[in-house]
Amino acid sequence: MHELIFVALAIPLITAVLSLLPLRLPLGALNISSGLAVAAVILRLIWQVATQGRIHTGLFLVDELSVVPLLVVALLTVSSTLFSLSYMRRELEDGHITEKALARYYALLQVFVFTMIGALVAENLGILWVMIEATTLASALLVASSFNRSSLEAAWKYVMVCTVGICMALLGTILLYYAQVSAGEGKEALSWLALTGAAARLDPDMTKLSFVFILIGYGTKAGLAPMHTWLPDAHSQAPSPVSGLLSGALLPCAFYAIMRNMAVVQHSLGPNFAETLLLTFGLLSIALSTPFILLQHDLKRLLAYSSVENMGLIAVGLGIGTPLATTGALLHILYHALTKSALFYLAGTITQEYRTKQLMRIRGLISSAPLLGGLFFVGLLAITGMPPFGIFTSKFLIIQAVVDDGRPLLAGLYLLLLGAVFAGMIYYAMGICFGAAPKKPINSPSASASLAIGLSICIVLAAGFYLPPWLGSVLTLAAALVTGG
């Protein structure tokens, strides 16, 4: 079964090479086929883990903790390649890119997918760091793919800020290795299984110091405040399929790295140290993103700050640290990824039709293009946590865990901030979807784009009513891995 891991890694790399070769292949169809094949292989791996337990071979490990981010990458690889078909064709027709740039875009998209899968199947924390760094290199070129001043500035800021962050994560990883060697466990350097097995013998002070650097480093990549400054620029300037992948899949990969290291720290130091840090960064992220959501003028930046807020929610869930809160955080990773990627795809279609990202200049969407406007309105309702969408369930689980943990003041602050974000998002939704329609006709999304968006929203809607038993069992085991249970 472990051969499937190699297949999952090989497919995007082969597709990237084929995209660059002068073979006149239909690039859109090629990448959609690749996305479907990658998703099928990953889903087979997930099913193997759900029914027979973890897959471990050499440098690779796929266990219950890998399942949620792998599921996110599988689903978003399909939706992003489907949406890219019409979005990038329109960019080509409008003269924003060339045929050569289109081939480069598809190749980089596949390399980006490869790096994310590589990070999620790595058993070794050193290799995990290498693959997370590789995601920065691949995605930075995608952010800059328009090669205009704004996109180049955003890519430069993204590389600079994330490089500082990832260097701190490297320092933390080195310190963790030093603690492992000092404990007489240097044979399997940075092996996650070896580290968790020897966690009780790690030097507590060194382990604490290493986790501080690791959390700040990977937290920068995950968009946690105050290290989030790259995120609004990169997400707003990237092509919309890339924005969807950045927000939906890359941020969970960074959180996955935090959770892998957190599991070691929980075994070594107990729950309080890591959880207090995560709770602090989580609340700060929600609090800092709220005014930027309430006073926003750019559609894609609005969605980007919403991502900062949602990463804060996930950090709060992990920071509470109970099995219920951790399960809520893992579910929120999945539901946020599907909803936010769909919203970025919709924002891309809207900005192509209205030729602006200014919120005040986008009006009458539902009367001009009912399908486009309806999907956008539903997507915004979902991301705010309205029932019956799955995000309501994940947010409710986290707030219930906060109350159960005996923190009424924290619960009140949490609800107050979520209420403010809800009010702001609904205000913008009403303005965009209703009001005077533009004079020029607004086209509905293409069939492939509608399928990519509709599939994501339907899954999030269905998740509000039903959670497959196998996924519930996997989440319970994954939460136990994170909390050291």
Tell me which of 145 and 376 has the higher pLDDT.
376
pLDDT, tens only, 230-278:
999 998 899 999 999 999 999 999 999 999 999 999 888 888 899 999 9
Mean residue pLDDT across the chain:
94
pLDDT, tens only, 44-94:
999 999 999 999 988 899 999 999 999 999 999 999 999 999 999 999 999
For the ranges 4-13, 324-333, 409-418, which has the lowest average pLDDT? 409-418
Q: Is residue 85 part of a domain?
A: no
pTM for this prediction: 0.96
Q: Please, what's the b/e burial string for 194-228 (b: 16 or more CB within 10 A of its CB; e: otherwise)?
A: bbbebbeebbeebbbbbbbbbbbbbbbbbbbbebb
pLDDT at 484 over 90: no
Q: Is residue 414 part of a domain?
A: yes
3-state secondary structure of 62: strand
A 10 A CB-CB count for 47 gives: 12
Q: Is residue 99 part of a domain?
A: no
Q: What is the CA radius of gyration of the chain?
A: 21
- Residue entry with tokens 């239909």: 26
pLDDT, tens only, 416-455:
999 999 999 999 999 999 878 888 888 889 999 999 999 9
Overall number of domains in the chain: 1
Q: Is residue 19 part of a domain?
A: no
pLDDT, tens only, 208-234:
999 999 999 999 999 999 999 999 999
Average pLDDT over residues 186-200: 90
Q: Is residue 74 part of a domain?
A: no
pLDDT value of position 258: 96
CA-based nearest residue to 260, from 450, 410, 68:
68
Determine contact, residues 131/137, Cβ cutoff 8 Å: no
Determine contact, residues 359/428, Cβ cutoff 8 Å: yes
Q: Is residue 7 part of a domain?
A: no
pLDDT value of position 294: 95
Q: Where are the alpha helices (DSSP H) in 94-148?
A: 99-121, 125-143
Print the domain residue range for 405: 143-483
